[in-house]
Amino acid sequence: MSKVKVCAFTVSLDGFGAGPNQSLENPLGIRGTELHNWYFKTKSFQKMHGSGDGVEDIDNTFAERSFENIGAWIMGRNMFGPIRGPWPNNEWRGWWGENPPYHTPVFVLTHHKKEPLAMEGGTTFHFVMDGIESALKKAKEGAKGKDIRIGGGVQVIREYLKAGLVDELHLVYSPIFLGSGESLLAGIDMPKLGFSVTEKMHTKDAMHVVLSRKT
C-alpha cells in the first residue's frame, strides 16, 4: 500500500530544519547547509552530483533508502526556488539544473498559476494552487501505487503532519545547534498524532530516527 513519507529530513539538535534568513545565497538559511554534512560525504550524494566516489556507510544506506519506491514528490514553493509573488517568467527552473534528482512528478504548492515544467530525466514540476490535500491527491495519482515523499520545506511538512496526512517520518539529527530558524516539531504533539519510534541508529555524524503512525 502506498505511504506518505518524509525521508532523510535533517534537523539540528535544537530542532530547526532550516537556519534563519533564507535567501538566494543561503537557501537553507544561515548555517543551514551544515545540517547536511552527514549526507555530503555519502556515495548517494556524490553519485547524484556526478562523482563515483563517496562513503558507503550507515548514513549512505539511509540516504539511498530515502529514494526507494518513491513515485511522486510534494514540495513547497520556497523549496523550488527563491521567487515570491506571481511568477514573472519561466527563467527559474529550480536549484538542480536541467536534470533534477527526482525523476518523478513533483507537485509544488503555490498561490500563483504556473504551467507544468518538464525537465530531463523524467522530472516534471506541477504547480498546485488549491492546497495540500489537492496536491496529495494529484501526487497519489502520479505515483501509480508507489510512495509519496514530502520533500519540504519545514512549513510544508508541518502542515501535512498537523493534517494527519503523513504515515512515516525519517528524521536525521545533525550534531549542531543553530540557535534559531524554522522549528520542525514545535507545538506538534507527535504521540497524539499516533507516531512512535520504530527505528533508530546513530553514526559519528548523525542520529537517524524513524517514526511511524498507527493506522
pLDDT by residue (tens digit) across 181-203?
Answer: 999 999 999 999 999 999 999 99
Distance between CA atoms of 198 and 83, rounded to whole angstroms? 38
At 215 the pLDDT is 72
Give the type of residue at 185: L
pTM: 0.93
- Each domain of the chain, given as residue ranges in start order, spans 4-17+27-82+97-213
CATH fold of 4-17+27-82+97-213, please?
Dihydrofolate Reductase, subunit A (3.40.430)
At 50 the pLDDT is 67
> Which of the residues in the chain have pLDDT under 50?
none
pLDDT by residue (tens digit) across 99-120?
Answer: 999 999 999 999 999 999 999 9
